[in-house]
Structure 1
Amino acid sequence: MKKIIILAMALSLTTVSVSCKKAVNKLGNKVLNLGGTEEANAIIEFNNNLIDSYKNTSKHIERVLKYTEAAAAKSKGENVMIMPIVLSAMDHSFSRIKGVPSGFGKDKAAIEADFTTYKTKKENIEKKFEELKSYMNSEDYKDDRGAKAEMIRKEIETEANAFYISGENLMAKIKPATDAAEEVILKDHPMKEYIISSKKVMNSLDSVIEVLGKQYTGKFNEAEAQKKYDEFAKVAEANSKMEFNVKDQQYAYKKSQFENFNKYASNFLDTYRKLIRDSKEAGKIPDSNIEQIDSSYESVLSAYNSFVN
């Protein structure tokens, strides 16, 4: 089975600050097709909820895929000591999405089409998974020697691939409007320069994750990995050298959060160096290293979101 790696896309997604909401100016109206502040905020909230949903659902699907592999093997008589545990998917962010905001203008219909596919595939995977669990729990595989388990495994893999494609299409289509909305909303914000600089760090980090995700499924390329390391180190260092000097006292507490973000970015570099060294020796990226990168990335992302929110 072709292994689907969620790291490259699902984890390399950064939410936009929704607390920095201000009136949308004429530039925003022109760029975003907006009629007012509510539509600008609706785009950002749609972006944030979709990203959270995509990340959480992708992780859940990865666990489901591991279960299907084990189920197919066990049903054929292979030795499977312990079946993977898959907890119920709790996707509160998805439930907050009531529709595609009108502010996306001419792109709204295309976004709606991808969102419909996203929702359908998400639901189909869950239904197929429940069907497979019932089949395994009742040990019906003893009647057909695992034929149904293999069939469902292939169906879930197909649905999962379609889910990831629709998710990636959505991310690409909503990004331009979301970026424009964010810049407009941040126009007069006291922390604008620090938020924009920190987002550059996250964008570079996302690029690192995308490259490592691809190399994890293929061959490790030390030169490419090192290049991304150098790029990220450069922007991370520049951000850490910024002196947090915001005159508005209501943002004074943000200084420690800004410093915390930079600390976790530095920690990521430590983890990244270890990955390059270990991968060079192994000729591929080891599972343990990709898990460490995953955990470190989540720490940086959490610190970033705490700072900008």
Structure 2
Amino acid sequence: MKKISLIIMVVTTLFTSCNTNNGKNPFSKLGSNLEENNDIITYYNNVLEAYKTYNNSYITKGINYFDKAEEFITKKIAGVPTIKPIKPIHVIIAPHKKIDSAPKGFTDKQELIQNAFQEIRRSANVMYELIDEITLYLDAEDYFDDKGKKLQDNKAKATIQVEHFNANAKILFEAMSPIVQQAEENILEDHPLKEHIISAKKIIAQVDNFISEVELQAQNDIINQEKLQSLYNELENLSSKSQKLTIKDDNFAKKKSSFNYFNQSIESFLGPARKLMRNSSNTNEFSERDYQEVSSYYNQIINSYNTFVD
């Protein structure tokens, strides 16, 4: 059976949590003075944004750059015409984001969270340095002297940093998630849209379960259609319930369109999910193309949720 080359997120269901700090945010009209809860959620959102930046701009782009550099060197040494890869442009983390010190609301997890994030940042910075070295290496054409050895050495070091980055990301978000969830529940206690938000979170968790099951089956060379169908059916059920929810509070009238968009993003996901199950049943393997399509729609769901709670 063909295995799909999965790009697995080590952190499941990463989406923005809502707090009551932002005066422009409709969710801030509750008037609750929950400073500690807000501090927890604000820190989480800032760390989440930084993690995504490091992961996308440093880690993922770095690995892709090393792969392209390896291909480039192989062709150059063989005398085959080729184009030198462009050094990736890294996004800078906004300096005003407060991410160095975790709020005291994280209690006994505070130090663990701070250390894990510092290690994530360190791995990203090391990756940046390794990329810089290879850029100079390619410019000087030193690969003609060592036959690409430095590239291989740096690529091996980069792989270690990726593993370190992912391991610490797992530690970081597993430590934060239950505390953030409780803080959000405290803030949402009397929220007019509490049912909508909880419903959306359940749907995202179910989508995540579905994709995780696909990844697990692909990694283990198995096809369990019964399990996938069960997860899919529950997702359809949750989606149907969500579509029946209405927003009647005039203070949240502007949220109607974003909540409808969220529901539409779920419906858009269901089609590719059915196609993935159908194709895997017919061919007895998961298609890379089907998996990437499902993953793309999953990202749209996360984006639509973040728009809803923004």
The residue that corresponds to 1:28 in the other structure is: none
Query: Which of 235, 238, 241 is the matching residue for 2:238?
Result: 235
Give the Cα separation in 2 of the matches to 1:219 and 1:95. 46
Unaligned runs of 5+ residues in structure 2 are 20-24
The ranges of structure 1 where at least 4 consecutive aligned residues each deviate by more than 6 angstroms after the TM superposition are none
Give the partner amino acid of 2:130.
Answer: K
Query: Do 1:72 and 1:153's aligned partners in 2 also have CA atoms closer than 8 Å?
Result: no
The residue that corresponds to 2:166 in the other structure is: 164
The residue that corresponds to 1:198 in the other structure is: 200
Query: Do 1:10 and 1:55's aligned partners in 2 also have CA atoms closer than 8 Å?
Result: no
Query: After the TM superposition, which of the residue ranges 166-175 and 88-97 deviates more from structure 2?
Result: 88-97
The residue that corresponds to 1:52 in the other structure is: 49
Query: Do 2:5 and 2:288's aligned partners in 1 also have CA atoms closer than 8 Å?
Result: no
The residue that corresponds to 2:34 in the other structure is: 37
SS state of the match for residue 112, structure 2?
Answer: helix
Please list, as runs of the form range in 1=range in 2, the aligned pairs for 1:1-309 lying within 5 A after superposition: 5-9=6-10, 12-18=13-19, 19=25, 20-21=27-28, 37-60=34-57, 61-76=59-74, 77=77, 81=82, 87-92=88-93, 96=97, 97-215=99-217, 217=219, 219=221, 221-223=223-225, 224-242=227-245, 244-246=246-248, 248-309=249-310
Give the Cα separation in 1 of the matches to 2:234 and 2:155. 40
The residue that corresponds to 1:32 in the other structure is: none
Give the Cα separation in 2 of the matches to 1:95 and 1:215. 42
Give the partner amino acid of 1:210.
Answer: S
Give the partner amino acid of 1:65.
Answer: I
Query: Do 2:116 and 2:172's aligned partners in 1 also have CA atoms closer than 8 Å?
Result: yes
Give the partner amino acid of 2:194.
Answer: K
Percent of residue pairs identical: 27
Query: Do 1:53 and 1:94's aligned partners in 2 also have CA atoms closer than 8 Å?
Result: no
Q: Give the Å deviation of 1:4.
A: 8.7
Give the partner amino acid of 1:52.
Answer: E
Q: Give the Å deviation of 1:293.
A: 1.9
Question: RMSD value over aligned CA atoms?
Answer: 2.7
Q: Give the Å deviation of 1:7.
A: 3.7
Q: Give the Å deviation of 1:42.
A: 1.4
Query: Do 1:198 and 1:239's aligned partners in 2 also have CA atoms closer than 8 Å?
Result: yes
SS state of the match for residue 9, structure 1?
Answer: coil
Against the structure 1 CA distance between its residues 95 and 11, is the aligned structure 2 distance closer, same or farther, given a 3 Å change threshold? farther
TM-score for the superposition, normalised by structure 1: 0.84
Query: After the TM superposition, which of the residue ranges 179-188 and 38-47 deviates more from structure 2?
Result: 38-47
SS state of the match for residue 9, structure 2?
Answer: helix
What are the superposed Cα offsets for residues 187-222 of structure 1, whole Å, 9 maximum, x if unpaired?
A: 111111111111111121222233334455553534
SS state of the match for residue 262, structure 1?
Answer: helix
Give the Cα separation in 2 of the matches to 1:54 and 1:225. 30
SS state of the match for residue 8, structure 1?
Answer: coil
